[in-house]
């Protein structure tokens, strides 16, 4: 049964999670399909998409089996660690967890979202530095170009002169960007430590690597 759930999950992933294949519909393991959707945190509206997909093959879902399976899947999804993983990946929570488990899920989700935001800030700062390095490289090529003398090389020499000035400004911008990166990396480290400590309170032994 575990292997079949995995096959269903792969089928849903390959189909963009928008519908079911003909084989999925005709095999009709609606409880297994519900488990997969529940583990993914999908709403019960997903069944409408499955119904539409399978109508092409004159197949109707077993609603009770699907919902039973989805509830089983939600038991795995609606945990603090699952919430953390969803938040860390920047995924949206669609309010699917039962009241009894939703609060603890949201605690984990909030921690994951904090780490996601911190990671994004570091990546943005690193991207900015890469872009500046690329700009400097291009400007230095222009600044170092061997221009002709006289009128023929006038525009080339003017462009080279402007490029040398722009290189200076770009290096100043690079220093500022490197300072920003240092700042957001320090913040990231603080957030990661705080998140890790709080996760260990929720789930001792868990390593958010």
pLDDT tens, residue by residue, 61-109: 999 999 999 999 999 999 999 999 999 999 999 999 999 999 999 999 9
Identify whether 147 is part of a domain: yes
Residue whose entry in the numeric block shows the structure tokens 């002169």: 161
Identify whether 90 is part of a domain: no
Residue 18 and residue 68 in one domain: yes
Identify whether 108 is part of a domain: no
Let me know: does 57 contact 24? Beta carbons within 8 Å.
Answer: no
Identify whether 164 is part of a domain: yes
Residue 70 and residue 136 in one domain: no
Residue range of the domain that includes 169: 113-202
For residue 186, give the nearest of 122, 107, 116 by alpha carbon.
Answer: 122
What distance in Å separates the CA atoms of residue 108 and residue 200, rounded to the nearest whole number?
A: 11
How many domains are there within the chain? 2
Identify whether 183 is part of a domain: yes
pTM for this model (two decimals): 0.80
Q: Where does the pLDDT of residue 19 fall: very low under 50, low under 70, confident under 90, or very high at 90 and above?
A: low
Residue 190 and residue 136 in one domain: yes
Q: Where does the pLDDT of residue 124 fall: very low under 50, low under 70, confident under 90, or very high at 90 and above?
A: very high
Rounded (5°) CA angle 93-109-44: 25
Residue 45 and residue 125 in one domain: no
- Rounded to a whole number of angstroms, the CA Rg of the chain reads 27
User: How many other CB atoms are found less than 10 A from the CB of residue 28?
Assistant: 16
């Amino acid at each position: 049964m575990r292997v079949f759930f995995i096959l269903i999950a792969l089928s849903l992933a390959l189909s963009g999670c928008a519908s079911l294949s003909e084989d999925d519909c005709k095999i009709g393991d609606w409880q297994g399909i519900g488990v997969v959707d529940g583990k993914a945190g999908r709403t019960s509206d997903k069944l409408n998409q499955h119904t539409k997909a399978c109508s092409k093959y004159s197949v109707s879902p077993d609603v009770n089996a699907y919902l039973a399976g989805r509830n089983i899947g939600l038991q795995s999804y609606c945990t603090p660690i699952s919430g953390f993983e969803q938040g860390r990946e920047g995924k949206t929570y669609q309010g699917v967890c039962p009241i009894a488990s939703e609060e603890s899920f949201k605690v984990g989700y909030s921690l994951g979202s904090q780490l996601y935001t911190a990671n994004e800030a570091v990546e943005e700062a690193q991207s900015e530095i890469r872009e500046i390095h690329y700009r400097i490289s291009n400007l230095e090529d222009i600044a170092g170009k061997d221009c002709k003398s006289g009128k023929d090389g006038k525009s080339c020499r003017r462009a080279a002169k402007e490029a040398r000035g722009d290189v200076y400004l770009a290096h100043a911008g690079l220093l500022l960007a490197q300072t920003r990166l240092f700042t957001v990396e320090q913040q990231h480290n603080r957030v990661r430590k705080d998140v890790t400590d709080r996760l260990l309170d929720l789930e001792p032994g868990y390593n958010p690597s």
